[in-house]
Structure 1
Amino acid sequence: MTDAGRSEAKPPTRGRYAPTQLDEQEILRRGLETFAELGYAATTVRELARRLEVSHNFINDRYGSKGDFWRAVVDFALLGAQTKFDRRLAESRDDGERLRGVIVQLYRLSANASAMNRLLTDESTRDSDRLDYLHERFIKPFWDSIEPAIGRLVAAGRIPRVSSHVLYTAITGPALALAHDPIADRLDPALAPVAEQDRNSLADALSGLVLDGLLRPPVQ
């Protein structure tokens, strides 16, 4: 090939996006926001690539598949949560105070993690391997950690004797609802936007309401 031919040769075609300059936490955070906003089925690899500004092959090359990326996102979002619950459980010898501390912690975590709350709410309505993953890795360990205290409180007459499903819904349902900022803004426009309010104060007000209804005082 002549020098002229070499000078006219075009450079190799590159993907639409250059390799990402985002760190791992930002990649996973954007992934979480996308799954929470669109749901798993509507979140395509192409849409993830667009939001991360990476090549279409990035997710598969780095994580293996969309499903593997989803699991990495969930692990990132819930990292250390159970450790915090376990720490609260160890802080008191009284089952009532032990349960109260964990529920307050759960609601504060939920109030400050609306994207993960939306993802959990959506996945909890679908019978899927993703729900199996959430249950085995996070939901079951949480419930197993508080169930002994709940059992003793039920036996002592401080918590109503109802099914585990009812108790689970009573405890976690309001926490998940802390992600429902759009309806909260419509219910109380004077507080809008709720997302900009003190999230811990909102969580404490709600957890207090739930605990006052759920947990009876000790029998004298």
Structure 2
Amino acid sequence: MTDGTPARDVKEAARGKYAPVRMDESEILRRGLAAFAELGYAATTMRELARRLEVSHNFINERYGSKWNFWCAVVDFGLRDTQSALDRLLAESRDDGERLRNVVVALYRVAANASGMNRLLSDESTRDSDRLDYLHQRFIKPFWDSIEPTVDRLMAAGRIPRTPAHILYFAVTAPALALAQDPIAERLNPAAALVTERDRNDMADALSGLVLRGLLPPSPGETVDA
């Protein structure tokens, strides 16, 4: 620079409070989700977010108010429409067996194709925190509340084993969370590094099929699609 001001300082100044950010809100949230999923909440610093978003160090505070508020916005973005789509499946299914199968298959497909959100959920589920409270309020409880009546009826009918709610929750959701474990999947099967969206759906369907065959075997005379 001819005036002696470092180029970096000029670039940062251009990103001041009122400078436009040339990035869609959805892209901001996608990059934020990728950062939180990869690094975890504590290690995702404001400076690291600014670097990944290519914005000023104060951008998150100026736009969202705090890192916590930005994390909440990222979670809302990552989980948008998920429960409403599951609710539609519940409403459209003909019986409880089909209802549970359809929801589990759909849940696994979402998990396979949204590995960042899946990884964040898996990571935060191991910590007793306000973030887990938020996830429980916004997604986990609404999801479980929506399928619990179906599960209760299936248990009463002897279709699935009677077991505590949290054990059944783990049986349904834990394999889906495992779909975010790409590094170990690639070590077990190098071809997993080259998966397409269709491959991810096939992988999700294969895993949900395994889970459902153990959890909800077909009743006598019932035909279930493979």
Structure 2 gaps of 5+ residues are 222-226
Deviation at 1:93, TM superposition (A): 2.8
CA distance in 2, matches of 1:15, 1:66: 23
Q: Which residue of 1 aligns with 2:160?
A: 159
Cα root mean square deviation, aligned? 1.8
Kindly, what percent of the aligned residue pairs are identical?
A: 70
Q: Which residue of 1 aligns with 2:111?
A: 110
Q: Which residue of 2 aligns with 1:119?
A: 120
The AA in structure 2 aligned to 1:177 is A
Equivalent runs, 1:125-144 vs 2, <5 Å: 125-144=126-145
What count of residue pairs does the alignment treat as equivalent?
Answer: 210
Q: Which residue of 2 aligns with 1:193?
A: 193
Q: Which residue of 2 aligns with 1:70?
A: 71
Deviations 1:125-167 (A, max 9, x none): 1100000000011000000000000000000011111111110
Q: Which residue of 2 aligns with 1:216?
A: 217
Q: Which residue of 1 aligns with 2:224?
A: none
Greater mean alpha carbon deviation, residues 89-98 or residues 22-31: 89-98
Distance change >3 Å, CA 218–CA 192, structure 1 → 2: closer
CA distance in 1, matches of 2:29, 2:183: 24
Deviation at 1:194, TM superposition (A): 5.2
Deviations 1:109-131 (A, max 9, x none): 00000001110111001100000
Structure showing greater radius of gyration is 1
CA distance in 2, matches of 1:115, 1:133: 17
| Runs of 4+ residues deviating >4 angstroms | none
**Contact 1:185/1:194 (CA < 8 Å) preserved in 2?**
no
The AA in structure 1 aligned to 2:180 is A
**Contact 1:181/1:195 (CA < 8 Å) preserved in 2?**
no
CA distance in 1, matches of 2:195, 2:141: 29
Deviation at 1:218, TM superposition (A): 2.8
Deviations 1:48-79 (A, max 9, x none): 01111111110000000000000000000000
Equivalent runs, 1:10-159 vs 2, <5 Å: 14=10, 16=12, 18=15, 19=19, 20-159=21-160
The AA in structure 2 aligned to 1:65 is S
Deviation at 1:91, TM superposition (A): 1.1
Deviation at 1:187, TM superposition (A): 1.1
Deviation at 1:219, TM superposition (A): 5.6
Structure 1 gaps of 5+ residues are 1-7
Deviation at 1:186, TM superposition (A): 1.1
The AA in structure 2 aligned to 1:155 is A
The AA in structure 2 aligned to 1:192 is A
CA distance in 1, matches of 2:185, 2:194: 7
The AA in structure 2 aligned to 1:154 is M
Q: Which residue of 2 aligns with 1:3?
A: none
CA distance in 1, matches of 2:106, 2:83: 10
Deviation at 1:39, TM superposition (A): 0.2
The AA in structure 1 aligned to 2:90 is L
**Secondary structure of 1:89 counterpart:** helix
